[in-house]
Structures are given as C-alpha cells and as structure tokens.
Amino acid sequence: MEQLSTRLLALSPSATLAMSQKSQELKAQGLDIINLSVGEPDFNTPDHIKEAAKQAIDNNFSFYTAVPGYLSLRQAISRKLKEENGVDFEPTQIVVGNGAKQEICNVILAIVEKGDEVIIPTPAWVSYFEMVKLAEGVNVPFLCNQEQDFKITAEQLESLITPKTKCLMLCSPSNPTGAIYSKEELAAIAQVLAKYPRIVVISDEIYEHISYTGEKLTSLASFPEMKDRVVIINGVSKAYAMTGWRIGFCAAPTYIAKAVTKLQGQYTSGCSSIAQKAAEAAYNGSQQCVEDMRVAFERRRDLIFDLVQQIPGFRLDKKPQGAFYVFPDVTALFGKQTPAGKTIANADDLAMYLLEEGHVAGVSGAAFGADECIRFSYATADDRITEAMARVKAAVEALK
Ligand code: PMP
Ligand code: GLU
C-alpha cells in the first residue's frame, strides 16, 4: 500500500526536467536527439572558477559552512547587488542555497500561508506553480499573451489583488518568453504595490545578464517605495554556466532571510563548501566570460528567430529580449494529423510528436501556463540549432 501525502500527490513533476530525461533515454537507445528542452548554457564553467574550486579542496574547505553560506560569499553578493543593481542588502540579508530553485521554494514556504494567493503572470517558469502548491497556497495565474509582449500591466495586476494576495512572482528576463520589464513598467507596478503593503514580491533575476536590450536590468527592489518588500532571486547557474554547481541566493528583508535560514537549517544546511568558493570566484573575478557568453546567446537568438519564422504554423512576432528561449504560438497546428494518423490536439501532443518524429526535444507551453505555445532553448551550438529547426520544419510540414 502506497503511503504518499496529499501534498506530494498534488505535485506535478517538473516538465522541463521530464522532457530532458525523456530525450536522454531516447539518446541512450542510439537516437540522435537534439535536446532543446532544458534551459542550461552549453558552455563549460570558466577556468578561473574551476581553479578556485580546486584550491578550495586543497585548502580544506571541507567542513559545514554557515547555513546561509560563507560570509565571504555573501559579502561578494552584497557588493554585486550594490554595484550592478543599485540595491542595498547586507550579508545578513542574503541566504545562499542549492540553486535559485531552492531559494525560491524557501521564500514561498516561509511566507505563504494555506489559502494565500500568489499572483503569477504567465507564461511562467514551471516550478513556481508547484512550489506554491507545496506551501498550500493558491496560484493566481494571469495569461499575458504575445500581443502584450508577455508582460502584465500595472492595471491588470491591480485587478487581481484581493485581501488574500500574499505574493507576486515576477521574472525578468522571463523564462520562457524572454520578456524584460522596463524601468517605466516596473515603476507603474511599484506604484500599484505601494497601495498594498502586505504583498511581498519575489523578483527572479536569474537571467539578468542574458539580455539583448543593451541596457542594464532594472530591479523592482531598486524603487524606494519597494524597499523591504522585494526578495531578489539570482545565482550563478545561467550567468557563469554553472548549473551543476547548484548555487543560488535570495536577498531579502531581514525577517525573511532569517526565516529562510531557519528553514534551510532544518532540511539542507549550508550548501556545498566547494561550490560556494567557486561562486565567490565567479562574483569577484573578471566578468568578461559573462559578456562573451551573452554575445554567443544573442547570435543564437537571431539565428533561431529567423528559422522559426520559416516554420509554417509557428508564430513569434518579436525577438525575445533576454534569456535563451523562444516561445512561439503553435495553435495554427492544432487539429492537424500526423502521418501516423494521430491528431495534434494541443502543445503536449506537438512536443511529443516533434520529439518522437523530428528527434527534437522542446517543452510544451502547458506547464508554463500557456498551452498555445511551445518552448525551445537555444543555449546550444549554432549548427545544432540550425539542424533542429530544419527537423522541426520538416516534421511540421508533414502534418495534414
Ligand atoms: N528561475 C528560473 C526562471 C529558471 O529558469 C531557473 C532554471 N533553472 C531557476 C530559477 C533555477 O535555477 P538554479 O536552481 O539552477 O539556480
Ligand atoms: N530553468 C531551466 C529550465 O527551465 C532548467 C530546468 C529546471 O530547473 O526547470 O529549463
């Protein structure tokens, strides 16, 4: 007899990781699968960061660390936040954990009470909804379509606020759409939120450096009226090609940082000492590697955008401004038949068809709260992107 909690049974598996797993399995069977499902840079971690980790081992950084992370790392993050984002967070307000993922979940668990509403402008990253469910909160998704550049307006936000609203999840640059909120758009949002002091904002800035607007990212935390209301989430996974090292952080009002530390102290403790020293080198070292990777992502963004335009039934009106995903609308293909006679009823069916017949893994938009779209990550080599889109085009053209 299986004995699982209702909390666990209500949870969906991560669609991004599931699709990636499926493509690994097909690869293991000898198929040439191009995996554009999971979002992770294809670059190796820069050498000076790897060197710092090797030194950390030799210098015996092998003991438990402080639960919120080494003070030296939190000092480096505090400086980064000041210099790059113009926000003041003391090291005591920063908690380092096993990826941005853990810190987002920690913050949600720390503040969301059973029945509290969390406003999530969608399309949004798959894990937000599940984390809210874990906390027994209520997801309040709001679909922002392509016509509004996938961004919520201040008026739309206000219309969703109720006495039960506890939190707003903002992600800019966005996974999966690449949308970036401008300073003006954030100012309007801050103005609305100023009327509702109970609402905490989680500002996920993990794609901060993967931006093609030519402008520095504006953080909602930098607006004076939002002081002590915004939790910044960031980490080294995307900017420094360090997804496997598992280092992310939250920078939060002191009471939230303390609560997150208490939670983390009971179920994971501080994260890997070696990875923390590597992250410290990432923040303190030269930032040229970040820019070099950004330039490569921008070239690939241009490449995949042009190729997507040539696929019948895919609609992507504007180039994404950041992150490394395209999220075209594919509704024009719904109702069509595969050569095997199966109907493509939705984005899940299309993603599965493209994987099985085209050998290209993407992720259905459904898990992002937008069933009309499909996501492809372009954090891969240019020639693989070209090959992948040729395969997708051929598979789509075979639909009747
Ligand atoms: N936020 C967003 C929007 C993401 O796409 C990801 C992807 N991994 C994360 C947070 C978590 O990143 P990590 O745990 O690797 O730091
Ligand atoms: N954030 C990445 C993605 O969306 C990595 C996988 C995950 O953690 O969801 O693909």
| Residue 249 phi, psi (nearest 5) | -150, 160
In this prediction, residue 173 carries a pLDDT of 98
pLDDT > 90? residue 144: yes
Which residues is 233 bridged to in the sheet?
204, 250
Q: What is the mean pLDDT of residues 224-235?
A: 95
Q: Is residue 8 scored above 90 in pLDDT?
A: yes
3-state class of 330 per DSSP? coil
pLDDT greater than 90 at residue 289 = yes
Mean pLDDT, residues 233-251? 98
Is-contact 367 15, C-beta < 8 A? Answer: yes
Banded model confidence at residue 13, pLDDT cuts 50, 70, 90: confident
- Report yes or no: 167 and 112 within 8 Å, Cβ to Cβ: yes
Element (H, E) at 361: strand 360-361
Quote the ligand 2 centre to 124 CA distance (angstroms).
11
Q: How far apart are CA 272 and CA 269, in angstroms?
A: 9
Ligand nearest to the CA of 128: 1
Looking at residue 48, its pLDDT comes to 98
Q: What is the pLDDT of residues 166-186, one digit of tens each?
A: 999 999 999 999 999 999 999
Ligand 1 pocket test, pick from 205, 206, 297 with the greatest ligand atom count within 8 Å of Cβ, gives 206
Task: Return the pLDDT at 227.
Answer: 83
SS3 of 43-57: the string is: CCCCHHHHHHHHHHH
Please indicate whether residue 69, judged by its CB atom, sits closer than 6 Å to ligand 1: no
Mean pLDDT in residue range 274-286? 98
pLDDT digits (tens, 9 = 90+) for 46-81: 999 999 999 999 999 999 999 999 999 999 999 999
What residue spans of the chain are helical by DSSP H? 6-9, 15-28, 47-58, 71-85, 99-111, 126-134, 154-160, 183-193, 254-267, 273-284, 288-309, 347-358, 382-397
Tell which one of 19, 102, 125 to mutate to probe ligand 1, the residue whose CB is within 8 A of the most ligand atoms. 125
What burial letters (b/e) apply to 159-182, b meaning 16+ CB within 10 Å? ebbeeebbbbbbbbbbbbbbbbbe
User: How confident is the model at residue 18, as a pLDDT?
Assistant: 87
Q: What is the overall mean pLDDT for the chain?
A: 97
Which ligand has its closest atom nearest to the C-alpha of 379? Answer: 2
d(CA 103, CA 98) in angstroms, rounded, equals 7
Q: What is the mean pLDDT of residues 240-251?
A: 98
Residue 267: which residues within 8 A CB-CB, separation 6 or more?
none
CA of 15 to the centre of ligand 2 (A): 9
Residue 221: what pLDDT?
97
The answer, yes or no, to whether residue 147 has pLDDT greater than 90, is: yes
